[in-house]
Amino acid sequence: MMKIARDKIFAVIMAGGKGERLWPLSNEERTKPLISLNGQQTLLEDTVQRLFPLLNAENVLVITDEKSAVTAKEILPLPPENIIAEPCRRNTAPCIALAASLIRRKCEDAVMIVLPADHRITPVKRFQEDLSDCIEQAQNGCLTILGITPDKPATGYGYINAGEKIAPGVYKVNAFKEKPDFATAQHYMMDGNYWWNCGIFVWQVKTFAEALHEFCPDLYDKFANWAAGADYFSDFESCKKISIDYAIMEKAGNVVVKQASFQWNDLGTLGALYEITLKDFHGNAINSRGRIQLLEADQNLIFSDDDTEIRLENIKKCAVIKSGNSLLISGKW
């Protein structure tokens, strides 16, 4: 059980990006967190909602770009000041350091959850239970990360090598591994102790600050100044571009991994969209408001956010993605 007051739990949602990986559904004007895959809520809205009632709305921060911040303030049930536009892109370590500094201004002994805004996670209850276990480990001074049990030998994810068990479902981290080739990914899957790194972290702000001080002293100095009230717009651009994995997680000795009990998809590719979309009898995944005609068509992905009529004939494993005035037709996904 958690032993921390609810008002000391904060969440940081990273909602930046260039919007390139799922073009044309996402683009520079509408990045991936702001697309909807069900015609209702955006991925960003889903990410915020699945945090409740684990923590309070006033303790949720969203870090995004200037354009997306405008939309986020309109659609999210959060205080407008909690939607923060990064001055520029500097990868995840400076982003998280900025968020941690703003949290420290409010609560010095806070626990912070860091998570991307573009994942699909079900069921929410298991997700929150896993976060509660991570919060418990964070209170023990650990840098905690969630690991996803692979269901296929994927080459598009980094991996976590789980070591000694320290609590139910929680293990010390032996090593972080780069995205592997297919043969290595097969080995990882068969081994059983390698899990996907989904980029969801939980730690105390003070534990994070100690790690910054040890491994990234330059960034720590900025973090300390920002936490003391300095204007981050004046020097954020001078931050080194570096991921949180390279900056801290691969170097620290107090990193643990919680094996996730929920279903997860990072929605980073057309293949990921195909996986989560309902299929017809011929394996065609269809998400469209318009009329779809399929003649001798199998295992295709068809996605349209309007009522455009689409017809496929004598084609297999093709993606047809229509959004606004843009159209993607791909024979490989």
User: Rounded mean pLDDT of 247-271?
Assistant: 94
Q: Give the integer Cα–Cα distance in Å for 267 and 269.
A: 6
CB distance 259 to 275 below 8 Å: no
pLDDT at 2 over 70: no
pLDDT at 127 over 90: yes
pLDDT the model gives residue 119? 94
Q: What is the pLDDT of residues 57-113, one digit of tens each?
A: 999 999 999 999 999 999 999 999 999 999 999 999 999 999 999 999 999 999 999
Long-range contacts of 135-140 (CB under 8 A, 24+ apart): 135/2, 135/4, 135/9, 135/111, 135/202, 136/1, 136/2, 136/3, 136/167, 137/167, 137/170, 137/202, 137/256, 137/258, 138/111, 138/202, 138/203, 138/204, 138/207, 139/3, 139/4, 139/111, 139/204
What is the phi/psi pair of residue 9, to 5°? -100, 125
pLDDT the model gives residue 193? 96
pLDDT the model gives residue 19? 65
Higher pLDDT, 25 or 251: 251
Q: What is the pLDDT of residues 287-325, one digit of tens each?
A: 998 999 999 999 999 999 889 999 999 999 999 999 989
If we measure between CA atoms, which residue out of 166, 158, 148 comes closest to residue 262? 148
Q: Give the integer Cα–Cα distance in Å for 292 and 115.
A: 36
pLDDT at 42 over 50: yes
Q: Give the integer Cα–Cα distance in Å for 306 and 324.
A: 8
Q: Give the integer Cα–Cα distance in Å for 302 and 322.
A: 8
CB distance 169 to 259 below 8 Å: yes
The 10 Å Cβ neighbour count of residue 174 is 15
pLDDT the model gives residue 22? 87
Q: Give the integer Cα–Cα distance in Å for 313 and 294.
A: 6
pLDDT the model gives residue 1? 45
CB distance 65 to 86 below 8 Å: yes
Non-local CB neighbours of 166 within 8 Å, separated by 6+ positions: 172, 256
pLDDT at 38 over 80: no
pLDDT band for position 268 (50/70/90)?
A: confident
Mean pLDDT of the chain: 94
pLDDT band for position 18 (50/70/90)?
A: confident
